[in-house]
């Protein structure tokens, strides 16, 4: 039972038993907000003061990829790329230091162990249903030397 309580995987309890995460959200709220248009809908981007300081130090805009990954389970991923990253999706500028893109991809195979480790080979989904999925909100933080993010649909 102990491993279930501290497991932050797909079926774990996540923030439910993590009061330190609630305190972290209170002390470092996502104070910076920008809005942009994606496929005719508004996308709201929030980021912390730590992320703002890090963004201002960058010479080129940071590209944030919001990815819906379909395999055995659906996984939302937020990936951070350098500005010279070649994306096959539309790149939407949010601020002079930040751009976002959205991709919906599908795995070539369904192996739960391989999926959890490496996110195996994928192809971009171009179906009408996949194109209807739009993110509403993106939150970004820079903590312990790493970019972190989450988004909602």
Domain assignment present for 8: no
Domain assignment present for 92: yes
- In whole angstroms, how far apart are CA 122 and each of 26, 82, 108, 119? 37, 21, 6, 8
pLDDT at 64: 93
What DSSP letter does each residue of 71-129 carry, written as one string?
SSSEEEEEEEE-TT---SS--EEEETTEEEEEEEEEES---HHHHHHH---EEE--SHH
pLDDT at 6: 45
Domain assignment present for 59: yes
Q: How far apart are CA 52 and CA 33, in angstroms?
A: 11
- Bridge-based pairing of strands 41-47 and 137-143 is parallel
Q: How many domains does the chain have?
A: 1
3-state secondary structure of 28: coil
SS (H, E, C) 21-66: HHHHHHHCCCCEEEEEEECCEEEEEEECHHHHHHHHHCCCCEEEEE
Above 80 in pLDDT, residue 7?
no
Q: Which domain holds residue 59?
A: 18-152
Query: What's the whole-model pTM score?
Result: 0.71
Domain assignment present for 9: no
Q: Pick the closest to residue 46 from 25, 29, 63, 62 (CA basis).
A: 29
* 66-83 pLDDT per residue, tens: 988 777 777 888 999 876
Least confident of 30-34, 106-110, 114-118, 130-134: 114-118
Residue with tokens 């709220």, as numbered in its chain: 29
pLDDT at 82: 78
Are the C-beta atoms of residues 80 and 63 closer than 8 Å to each other?
Answer: yes
Domain assignment present for 118: yes
Domain assignment present for 44: yes
Comparing 52 with 129, the larger pLDDT belongs to 52
Which DSSP letter does residue 61 get?
P
> How many C-beta atoms lie closer than 10 Å to residue 135's C-beta?
20
Domain assignment present for 7: no
Domain assignment present for 75: yes
Which DSSP letter does residue 16 get?
G
């Amino acid at each position: 039972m102990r491993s279930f309580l501290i497991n932050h995987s797909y079926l774990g309890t996540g923030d439910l038993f993590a009061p330190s995460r609630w305190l972290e959200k209170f002390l470092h709220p996502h104070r910076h907000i920008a809005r942009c248009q994606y496929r005719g809908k508004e996308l709201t981007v929030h980021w912390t003061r730590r992320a703002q300081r890090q963004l201002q130090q960058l010479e080129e805009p940071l590209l944030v990829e919001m990815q819906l990954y379909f395999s055995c389970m659906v996984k939302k991923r937020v990936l951070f790329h350098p500005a010279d990253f070649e994306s096959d999706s539309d790149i939407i500028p949010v601020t002079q230091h930040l751009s976002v893109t959205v991709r919906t991809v599908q795995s070539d195979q369904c192996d739960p162990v391989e999926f959890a480790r490496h996110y195996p080979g994928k192809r971009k989904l171009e179906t009408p249903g996949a194109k209807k999925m739009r993110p509403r909100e993106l939150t970004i933080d820079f903590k312990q030397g790493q970019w972190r993010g989450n988004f909602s649909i």
